[in-house]
């Protein structure tokens, strides 16, 4: 039977696949539902691609620089989970009851079952996730230069929820412009160099590879993690398609051989 956590990832992956297909098939832009759809799939620079937005929609905007909140939350929450996991693995201290109940409601097995290699995989993936969040936080605080881009409040809540649920998903697998640099411009320009020569969004492609590599650590056969990978695949593919469209519309000289997301393919 599919666990609650797998069902959640399946649903999210399916929702982003549907949104990606709708967008590729030229979803309508007029009408209330279409406007809301466009507002929910776009953020930051690609929001300008759906024309002038009504005032009531703009009321639900939060600054895109709040992306850093995702990683602050992720660092704090996933450090906490890592601490509990280390205590459980090396000091035989059980998870708190509320966490045991939560994990079993989500479909995770009890931590008392089958202590083996899988525990080490979970430990490694949780540590990598934490490292990844920490690196992303540093990037948000000291490297990324956010202009006036915005997110829909639901996208913001989803980002916060994502980093809570991703840590829990890992635990369910237990058997049982630099700050001292000069900002040259706040305008978006055509990125060049390295993987940008092949695709418009190599950072989204790298994100996918990070999650695929975690699936490798889980031994290729962890269905729930592959559902997480599918979610990241469709979610990042959608963002990449919108970003690619943004560049093609904005820059008449945009390199025609560049794909949006996956080199040579898509
Ligand atoms: N796992 C997931 O589900 C998930 C979901 C979302 C994002 N992410 C990851 O989070 C990271 C950041 O994502 P993002 O969507 O915020 O990336 P992004 O839109 O490319 O923005 C990253 C930074 O680069 C700037 N920027 C973007 N395009 C630019 C251009 N053409 N010229 C100059 N500056 C430009 C942005 O400024 P502006 O903000 O002013 O555009 C921002 O400071 C990525 O690595 C992505 O893979 C992961």
Q: Give, for ligand 1, the residue of 46, 70, 71, 207 to mutate: max count of ligand atoms closer than 8 Å to Cβ.
A: 207
Q: Is 147 in the pocket of ligand 1 (CB under 6 A)?
A: yes
Cα-to-centroid distance, 218 and ligand 1 (Å): 28
Residue 112 pLDDT greater than 70, yes or no: no
* Contacts of residue 215, Cβ cutoff 8 Å, sequence gap at least 6: 222, 225, 226, 229
Q: Is 148 in the pocket of ligand 1 (CB under 6 A)?
A: no
pLDDT class of 6 with cuts at 50, 70, 90 = very high
Residue 123 pLDDT greater than 60, yes or no: yes
Q: Measure the CA–CA gap between 260 and 193, rounded to whole angstroms.
A: 15
Number of H helices, E strands in the chain: 9, 2
Q: What share of the chain is helix, strand, coil (3-state, %, to 5)?
A: 65, 5, 30
Q: Which residue has the higher pLDDT, 32 or 256?
A: 256
Q: What pLDDT is recorded for position 257?
A: 95
The neighbouring-strand residues paired with 249 are: none
Q: Is 47 in the pocket of ligand 1 (CB under 6 A)?
A: no
Q: Is 23 in the pocket of ligand 1 (CB under 6 A)?
A: no
């Amino acid at each position: 039977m599919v666990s609650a956590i797998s069902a959640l990832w399946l649903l999210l992956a399916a929702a982003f696949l549907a949104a990606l297909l709708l967008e590729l098939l030229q979803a309508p832009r007029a009408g209330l539902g279409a406007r809301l759809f466009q507002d929910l799939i776009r953020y930051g620079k690609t929001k300008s691609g759906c024309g002038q937005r009504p005032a009531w929609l703009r009321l639900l905007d939060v600054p895109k620089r709040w992306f850093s909140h995702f990683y602050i939350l992720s660092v704090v929450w996933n450090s906490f989970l890592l601490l509990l996991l280390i205590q459980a693995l090396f000091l035989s201290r059980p998870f708190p009851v509320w966490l045991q109940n939560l994990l079993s409601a989500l479909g995770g097995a009890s931590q008392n079952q089958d202590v083996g290699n899988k525990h080490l995989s979970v430990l490694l993936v949780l540590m990598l996730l934490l490292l990844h969040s920490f690196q992303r936080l540093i990037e948000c605080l000291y490297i990324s230069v956010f202009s006036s881009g915005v997110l829909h409040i639901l996208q913001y809540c989803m980002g916060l929820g994502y980093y809570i649920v991703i840590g829990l998903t890992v635990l369910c697998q237990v058997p049982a412009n630099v700050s001292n640099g000069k900002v040259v411009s706040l305008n978006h320009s055509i990125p060049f160099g390295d993987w940008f020569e092949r695709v418009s969004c190599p950072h989204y492609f790298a994100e996918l590879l990070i999650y695929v590599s975690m699936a490798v650590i889980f031994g290729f056969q962890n269905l729930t993690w592959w559902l997480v990978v599918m979610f990241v695949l469709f979610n990042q593919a959608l963002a990449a398609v919108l970003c690619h469209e943004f560049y093609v519309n904005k820059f008449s000289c945009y390199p025609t051989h560049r794909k949006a997301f996956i080199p040579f393919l898509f």
